[in-house]
Amino acid sequence: METQTEKKVSTLYLKEGMYVSSLDRPWLDTPFLMQGFIIQDPDEILLLKKYCEHVFIDTDKGVDTEQYIHEAQKLKSHERIERCIVDNTKLVEYVDTKTSTEEMPVARMAIDDASNRVVSLMESVKSGNNVDIKQVKGVVEPILESIVRNPEALMWLTQMRHKDSYTYSHSVDNCALAIAFGRHLGLPKDDLNTLATGLLVMDIGKMKIPPEVLNKTEPLTEDEFRLVRGHVGHSVDILKKSEGIGVDIINIALTHHERFDGSGYPSGLVGVQTPVYGRIAAIIDCYDAMTSKRPYGSPVSAYAALQEIYNWRNKYFQEELVEQFLQCLGVFPTGSLVEMHSGEVAIVMAQNKTRRMSPQIMLLLDKNKKAYSEYQVINLNNQPSEYDENPLTIFRGLDPGAYGIDSAEFYL
């Protein structure tokens, strides 16, 4: 039981000189011989991280903790954003300055270049280097500018392109989703930049996890799962050593696996104890993981993923943020496959901001699931006269790859 001089501390925060008074598991389940000891070298910290997610330290017998998360909760920018989320107001009202068609070639260049730069960035970290902030800016800035002009083009392309590596493509997709969601929330560009950078690099610590564990197709063992969860600590360590990486970005890496009900890790933070950037990152990270092909699982439809996230509101994720996320992506997100009531199959190309059930679609298969010789683009909110008697409506969302459709074929 925690005493007045004891503090529950994530093993991420341990340092030499702390007195470990108890663990989150029985002492006999660990190799530690003494039930209570002062941390004297880095190897002991590594061993504690291997066996425990948190420990209790006695500040009367050793040095105190500096909980990095507390620094983030005091930032005024967070308080400003918190008020907007609760009041459902926006700091900036963005207006599209390009059509999705006009933006498409620029967006394609941005996403292709970003994908190449992320590979270089990750491989550099894997080789033992710190994060190069110039490389990070080279990824974030073109994506940010494109989405600010028009979010539909780049969001379409993130869904259509080939994704050769989950870890690398997940980082780029998270970055783009962060900007699109932040734009929808009406956050200023500086906040969009922070969010995008944080979500781009928050999993950088996975470069320290053995590839055979990351790419394992069978269920992970308890020890392997602990190794994977340890990527949070690796990410924080790497980012704290890297020049130009601010506290908000580090705290996104630290908190994106926390959950609103306290069931997350590494610190078990509850509610708004997790900074708002971390709460946003948690939703985006979960959504992109569910809709992506991973070594250990197949993707689900964007529609199904959003349903799950909605069911998890005020359990894993803050309700206000979940509702805004659904409004941002739409009931059937851009790039997702859908089946019409007529039996035809289509890809969602763009959202209708006033009628989320009536996006712009491209018809791919007829009612017999045969490919059309020419693909017809239809705005469900303003359909051609030939559909006056039988308007097209969406029946359901489809899983990626349904009816043998390879979305990457439509990467323009």
Q: Which structure tokens are listed for 242?
A: 């890297």
* Phi, psi dihedral angles at 253 (to 5 degrees): -60, -40
Best CA proximity match to 179, nearest among 162, 202, 196, 164:
196
Q: Which residues contact 221 (CB under 8 A, 6 or more apart)?
A: none
| H/E element, 101 | helix 100-126
> What pLDDT is stored for residue 368 in this prediction?
96
Strands lying side by side in the sheet with 345-350: 371-379, 360-365, 345-350, 337-340, 394-397
pLDDT of amino acid 168: 79
Q: How many angstroms separate the Cα of 309 from the Cα of each of 46, 319, 402? A: 34, 10, 22
Q: What tokens were used for 29?
A: 């389940």
Residues lower than pLDDT 70 in the chain: 1-4, 66-77, 162-166, 411-412
At position 221, the amino acid (one-letter code) is: T
Residue 140 structure tokens: 């974030």
DSSP assignments along 241-258, one per residue = TSTT--HHHHHHHHHTT-
Q: How many CB atoms lie within 10 A of CB 37?
A: 15
What is the pLDDT, as a whole number, of residue 5? 73
Q: Which residue has the tokens 């490389």?
A: 135
Compute the radius of gyration of the chain from its Cα atoms. 23
pTM: 0.82
Taking alpha carbons only, the member of 153, 154, 173 closest to residue 163 is: 173
